[in-house]
Homo-oligomer: A and B are copies of this chain.
Amino acid sequence: MREVAILGIGQTPVDEQWDKSLREIAGEAVLAAMADAARDRAEGLFVGNMLSGMTSRQENLGALVADWVGLLGVEAIKIEAACGSGAAAVRAAIMAVSSGEMDCAIAVGIEKMTEGLPAETTSALASAADADYEADQGLSFVAINALIMRRYLHIYHWKHTDFANFSINAHANAMSNPFARLHETITLETYNKARMIAAPINLLDASPTGDGAAAVVIVPTEHLKPTRHPIITIAGSASATDTLAVHSRKDPLWLSAAEKSAKKAYAQAGVTPADIDIFELHDAFSIMSALSLEACGFADRGQGPRLALDGEIRTTGKIPITTRGGLKARGHPVGATGVYQIVEVVLQLRGEAGETQVPGAHIGMAQNIGGSGATIVTHILKSNR
């Protein structure tokens, strides 16, 4: 296995893109990444997507997008792991290049989810959960997360308001991100007064959906010529799974697949949590931020909210998270999210994150979650700057 690098990145705004089709949105991100990498060819395309069959009646996305971006004929497939599809596609591209099978592979995450009725999207999103034992009981995805959060508050004695800073920090960091869905500063007061969605989850605990795509170009590090950017290498890439149904887990408040994939990635990269300068985590709901921080070793069990309360998750803190807005404010186009996270880590490690740049960021981590913890993909990136 040879070392690989992310040579180019691209992303579209996360928004309601009524005037653009699925392939156009995906193509915009791929072409931006190819331009950034100064490459006009690739040997493979890995498309991360969850909902296209249900929301756009379109499958076979690999071939569709390959043709659209001028890569007609190359190997191309779609990879699905619910909301973890994006990072799973990046991991597939990494494996294709690190194995020597390809010398250049592109991963793109794409989701177009604002076209249908909201109820249809909610129903489609429930397919990330166990259809026979969760969704069939009427549990929507937010309802599952609400049950997890309610239990967390009960077991670890936190109040709902203790989660406020996860959302406040995300919204603050999105303000300068031109690709973010929400540009709106929120305060403790707006958080506390937000409309209830599924108690105890309110509107400001939940990430907005949206249309969007993000892409990366993966090449071997060997023979890489100097570019205008620092070289960003993949130091760790790992994926693990858990039961789909939360009720089947030994501890519903522990993301065992996050722990497994993070530990594997740490070992590959030869680092510990203390070495991570920024962490783009999967804050689909504020409770997931706490669970990820704990499972990845940044906080003790049940103590995730402490990092938020103490301001340690800000760009100036011990473990900056959601530095470009996270799922909460950059937005959550589900199958694309994992690639957005990696693109954002690359921006930080290149020193191109503008107003939310974490000073001296050198090692970054991204963690993408499919379902309520069922499929979790963790990447660790390093900069040579």
Contact = CB atoms under 8 A, between A and B. Distances in A.
Interface of A: 1, 21, 23, 50-54, 56-64, 66-67, 72-82, 88, 92, 95-96, 98-101, 123-124, 126-132, 135, 238-244, 248, 256-257, 260, 370-371, 374-375
Contact of A80 (B61, B82, B131, B244): B61
Contact of A73 (B62, B80, B99, B260): B260
B63 A244 contact: yes
A67 B241 contact: yes
B1 A99 contact: yes
Given A132-B21, A243-B67, A81 B99 contact: no
Main secondary structure of the interface of A (DSSP, over half): mixed
Contacts of A370: 60, 63
Contact of A241 (B56, B63, B256, B260): B63
A265 B377 CA distance: 31
A241 B76 CA distance: 7
Contacts of A238: 75
B99 A62 contact: no
A254 to B, nearest CB: 13
Contacts of A96: 95
Q: In the complex this chain forms, how many copies of it are found?
A: 2
A74 B256 CA distance: 11
A245 to B, nearest CB: 9
**Which residue of A1, A101, A244 has the most chain B CB atoms within 10 A of its CB atom?**
A244
A121 to B, nearest CB: 13
Contact of A59 (B76, B82, B98, B101): B82
**Which residue of A77, A95, A123 has the most chain B CB atoms within 10 A of its CB atom?**
A77
A320 B99 CA distance: 34
A375 B123 contact: no
B80 A78 contact: yes
Contact of A100 (B1, B72, B79, B243): B1
A306 to B, nearest CB: 28
B101 A1 contact: yes
A66 B241 contact: yes
A375 B60 contact: yes
A235 to B, nearest CB: 15
